[in-house]
Structure 1
């Protein structure tokens, strides 16, 4: 047992499983039943690419704890889903596992370079990776006899693994976490990238190499890069945020997972709060929550934005500022609730070869900044998945020098000011502008709810930060469609908006008054003036109708 061959230290899954009755834990061990079906068969080379903070390492640690013989006898999986599967005992802790954490390898390599005496031929990060694996194999007592220890510098990893297979019948489970680190951290070092791909090809392209592995599982943010140098890795089956089928339920927390988490005594949050903040990644019809954010929120007892980090923010700003084909406008529209169609098949699966808006959106989906839905014809619909991501994107957008000059920002101010001025005609006209924009038209416009999304998206840039926006809020004798309440400024008005489809603006206004949605805001804790707005869209005339009044207290 070492750092790579059958390691046992700092296993995040084992720690979570041990305290699963007390801490946030989603039982995803049925995923192991899926990998067992691929064991020693075609399709046993897997790449799972998903965003940071989406449980990549926990899943890799789960597979290690299940397959590696180093965990034998620990009863880690007792009572979990996989324990009821027919294949459970067959593979439980019966294999030798090579577990490679590329972040650790990178860190160890930096320390290695500081040493006064270096191993001959070990000059690059990839050299060091191969050297480290071979060294641990050679130091394993059961394997030592297969190698001449005096020729450690002269033997390659494929040959070492083949010797073990031929002499001892040993096959390995190969698990690599952050497989794409070299393509992200050393994005401009083409030589190092080529060395790394050649390393993987040596293991997984030739028949001799493939015969040494019962299963290979690579996880990272990016799919395997699409170019001629890496075409040799087409033996891997890839599952990504762009195309997760049939493993979509294992990419994050599902509704069923959240329902179980809500039962924890330590969870003081409502399911609606978690849904608003962290749900929204729709993968083949499944609603997926950001797992790390949910865990953090439950532990803190508060929903807030955990999606932060200087490096990630800088990367997003870099992509937006490329401004392919009006990209900045599209990003602002997405933040406000719109949809953007994009193609993903030409995406090169890297962070350097970005040639179009389609590439940017494909990368942002892989990074988790956008969700996507199938749109047919090899296209996807991009959208901002939840409140957490919307807040992060909006904060980054506001920091850019071009922000205040963007038409969508100016339009949001015009809409807010028109409502505040009780200008029904101007308000209806601006809403029509928003409705006719490409991003909103993709939503469909067949209900009062669609009109509500159009208006709240239009107001977002002017109200975000100063207002709390409530949808379907219980108020008076019913549930108001939308209410904007100022957070701390008495000079700003409360906006109360009701929507209709194919009736009339008068009908919407009458609803507000008959149900007395404004009653709680007449006096007391709310000295603000209250503006009532009734809106209707006619599918026959394609016109927006609006009535605006100030509440007389």
Structure 2
């Protein structure tokens, strides 16, 4: 066994570097005896960490066809071992435009982290020839003016996508650990003869995890200065999913702490930093109102509304066609399109990449794969603050309609409580809406027609609505199951009982007698009845206008017509009479005419009467 000092002499690096490598389990077989490390005689110097796979795992056995990259955000691994959709022309577009600092805002799981790792591998200086990872890619065919940038810059790379904790202490501890790991990728600085000892000592405080919060806020600025001094070239700084800890701070009540930290953290890295070649950030939202980027006038924002870089996050129609051909599922393209297409980024139609690869990997079984990749806090917050107008528009969206909304891309999460109308902006940037038509306004906002992108997102809406109803106690799981089972078995009496129970529960949780109650009722039924019905309200039929009609999408399900009446201060007997009056009106006004014209013969008629918190339902099958 050798000492750290002996191995340092053998490998031509400092003793401090060898000690760091031992502390971080980078030298196999090293054991600690007291305060010193002992290293096997035949131990080899650890490889350069600046370009290696994030996972550092052994390659998997190659299959006849490359496997799909589910959850792979490591560029080297993705392009060599998996089916890789080539997005390297992002590099060309960036080098053509040369913005100093770029922010890409896209929904989660749309390839942001993989693209940022691709940029890291392309630009980063390395002992390894990393051009081999690009020679068969589109960027290598673009000419020498692009290839000359490959492997020429020191790179600082941080991904904050896993900074999801319940407290500020845990959050800052995680950020400290991420910085420690990133500093550990640049151990060459400890050997540099261009840095002073005090600078190496400061560097070592981050390496050892001893830096306080103030030192952490200036860590990116300091690291960029040291890298610039060592290499004689300013580094590229990449921050992936910058807003994940900010969102957690909002939901977990340490918002002021995280925004205060990030303001200083980013300011040192990107604002007036002479030691910066280029900066890249990704996230879901642009947190401009919180002054996270205060004074950062060199920031170029690329959102879902912008045409720049619109092809590089998510899959295009052509890329999906090639993918389906490769795996032999071309006949499933129509179904895949209905479920996972429909996003509009700039001027390009985009498929959800996470859902597409999961759909193919599961043998083309359509499910809401995207919803399982993270929380849907945006929809949860929307349902909590939804006004009557918003509830009505959500109902229209679920029916496949478009609604007009003002979209402000600078909106933040806490603005929901200030103005619930901001929900459409949040839903759009987070991937829950698309904007087929939009018109830029003088204040920088857009006036848009928005709609739900596809069947997967419609399923997400319905799932969140049902979850909301269960959470507030407006419905029980047994009632929800009863509705689903009665539809499946075509048991109309059981369906009548389930709807009666649903109405009885719901009446206690909505503003009775107000129009908003009826729309809340409709929205709940959409969630409970899944995709079985087209739900319409206040439609002309026969000799009048019915209140609510549920028209089955398949003939095996019954139609449902509801006539609702409300009066205050009614006795139990008078309320029952009012429900019978409502039921009689359905026949008298011939409300069934529309459904009969569509071939629906079996119709469940419900006369529903309200008075205060009391409800009475008269039914006829």
Q: CA RMSD in A?
A: 4.1
Q: Using a 3 Å threshold, how does the CA distance of structure 1 residues 346 and 36 change in structure 2: closer, same or farther?
A: closer
Q: Deviation string for 1:112-142 (max 9, x for gaps)?
A: 97xxxxxxxx976666665665565465355
| 1:146 aligned onto 2:195 | yes
Q: Deviation string for 1:179-199 (max 9, x for gaps)?
A: 112211222321232111111
Q: Using a 3 Å threshold, how does the CA distance of structure 1 residues 263 and 186 change in structure 2: closer, same or farther?
A: same
| 1:305 aligned onto 2:368 | yes
| 1:178 aligned onto 2:227 | no
1:97 to 135, 155, 165: 155
Q: Deviation string for 1:42-75 (max 9, x for gaps)?
A: x221111111111111111211221123352461
Q: Using a 3 Å threshold, how does the CA distance of structure 1 residues 84 and 352 change in structure 2: closer, same or farther?
A: same
Q: Deviation string for 1:204-226 (max 9, x for gaps)?
A: 112xx1x3222211112122332
C-alpha contact 2:156 2:238 (8 A) present in aligned 1: yes
Q: How far 1:383 moved relative to its partner? A: 1.0
Q: Using a 3 Å threshold, how does the CA distance of structure 1 residues 548 and 250 change in structure 2: closer, same or farther?
A: closer
Q: How far 1:12 moved relative to its partner? A: 2.5
Counterparts of 1:167 and 1:14 in 2: how far apart (Å)?
26
156-165 or 46-55, larger mean C-alpha shift: 156-165
Q: How far 1:169 moved relative to its partner? A: 1.2
Q: Look up the SS of the partner of 2:438 in the other structure.
A: strand
2-11 or 248-257, larger mean C-alpha shift: 2-11
| 1:198 aligned onto 2:264 | yes
- Kindly indicate whether structure 1 or structure 2 has the higher relative contact order, using CA contacts under 8 Å at least 6 residues apart: 1
C-alpha contact 2:243 2:284 (8 A) present in aligned 1: yes
Q: Look up the SS of the partner of 1:218 in the other structure.
A: strand
TM-score (normalised: structure 2):
0.60
Counterparts of 1:333 and 1:215 in 2: how far apart (Å)?
44
C-alpha contact 1:48 1:239 (8 A) present in aligned 2: yes
Counterparts of 2:185 and 2:222 in 1: how far apart (Å)?
15
Q: Deviation string for 1:263-288 (max 9, x for gaps)?
A: 11353651101110000112334211
2:111 to 55, 58, 74: 55
In the alignment, which residue of structure 1 is the partner of 2:311? 249
Counterparts of 1:430 and 1:372 in 2: how far apart (Å)?
32
Q: Using a 3 Å threshold, how does the CA distance of structure 1 residues 202 and 547 change in structure 2: closer, same or farther?
A: same
Q: Look up the SS of the partner of 1:364 in the other structure.
A: helix
Q: Look up the SS of the partner of 1:391 in the other structure.
A: helix
Counterparts of 1:28 and 1:106 in 2: how far apart (Å)?
28
Q: Look up the SS of the partner of 2:282 in the other structure.
A: strand
Q: Look up the SS of the partner of 1:263 in the other structure.
A: helix
C-alpha contact 2:403 2:450 (8 A) present in aligned 1: yes
Q: Using a 3 Å threshold, how does the CA distance of structure 1 residues 236 and 224 change in structure 2: closer, same or farther?
A: farther
Q: Which runs of 5+ in 2 are unaligned?
A: 1-45, 56-72, 206-210, 476-502, 507-516, 561-591, 602-621
Counterparts of 2:293 and 2:534 in 1: how far apart (Å)?
56
Q: Using a 3 Å threshold, how does the CA distance of structure 1 residues 74 and 284 change in structure 2: closer, same or farther?
A: closer
Counterparts of 1:53 and 1:205 in 2: how far apart (Å)?
29
Q: Using a 3 Å threshold, how does the CA distance of structure 1 residues 293 and 550 change in structure 2: closer, same or farther?
A: closer
In the alignment, which residue of structure 2 is the partner of 1:478? none
Q: How far 1:534 moved relative to its partner? A: 10
Counterparts of 1:151 and 1:249 in 2: how far apart (Å)?
42
C-alpha contact 1:67 1:91 (8 A) present in aligned 2: yes
Q: 1:204-223 counterparts in 2 under 5 A? A: 204-206=270-272, 209=273, 211-223=274-286
In the alignment, which residue of structure 1 is the partner of 2:404? 341
Q: Look up the SS of the partner of 1:368 in the other structure.
A: coil
Q: How far 1:409 moved relative to its partner? A: 7.1
C-alpha contact 2:266 2:292 (8 A) present in aligned 1: no
| 1:44 aligned onto 2:100 | yes
In the alignment, which residue of structure 1 is the partner of 2:588? none
Q: Look up the SS of the partner of 1:288 in the other structure.
A: strand
1:237 to 300, 313, 318: 300
Q: Using a 3 Å threshold, how does the CA distance of structure 1 residues 3 and 331 change in structure 2: closer, same or farther?
A: farther
2:435 to 358, 372, 380: 372
| 1:85 aligned onto 2:142 | yes
Counterparts of 1:418 and 1:255 in 2: how far apart (Å)?
30
Q: Using a 3 Å threshold, how does the CA distance of structure 1 residues 346 and 175 change in structure 2: closer, same or farther?
A: closer
Q: Look up the SS of the partner of 2:148 in the other structure.
A: helix
C-alpha contact 1:173 1:213 (8 A) present in aligned 2: yes
| 1:288 aligned onto 2:350 | yes
| 1:65 aligned onto 2:121 | yes
Count residues with an aligned counterpart: 432
Q: How far 1:310 moved relative to its partner? A: 8.9
Q: Look up the SS of the partner of 1:18 in the other structure.
A: helix
Q: Using a 3 Å threshold, how does the CA distance of structure 1 residues 170 and 244 change in structure 2: closer, same or farther?
A: same
2:455 to 387, 396, 416: 387
Q: Deviation string for 1:499-536 (max 9, x for gaps)?
A: xxxxxxxxxxxxxxxxxxxxxxxxxxxxxxxxxx998x
Counterparts of 2:598 and 2:342 in 1: how far apart (Å)?
33
Q: How far 1:418 moved relative to its partner? A: 13
Counterparts of 1:35 and 1:355 in 2: how far apart (Å)?
37
Counterparts of 1:163 and 1:232 in 2: how far apart (Å)?
24
In the alignment, which residue of structure 2 is the partner of 1:330? 393
2:518 to 407, 419, 428: 407
Q: Using a 3 Å threshold, how does the CA distance of structure 1 residues 392 and 548 change in structure 2: closer, same or farther?
A: closer
Counterparts of 2:110 and 2:248 in 1: how far apart (Å)?
19
Q: Deviation string for 1:422-480 (max 9, x for gaps)?
A: xx96269659x99xxxxxxxxxxxxxxxxxxxxxxx75xx64xxxxx5xxxxxxxxxxx
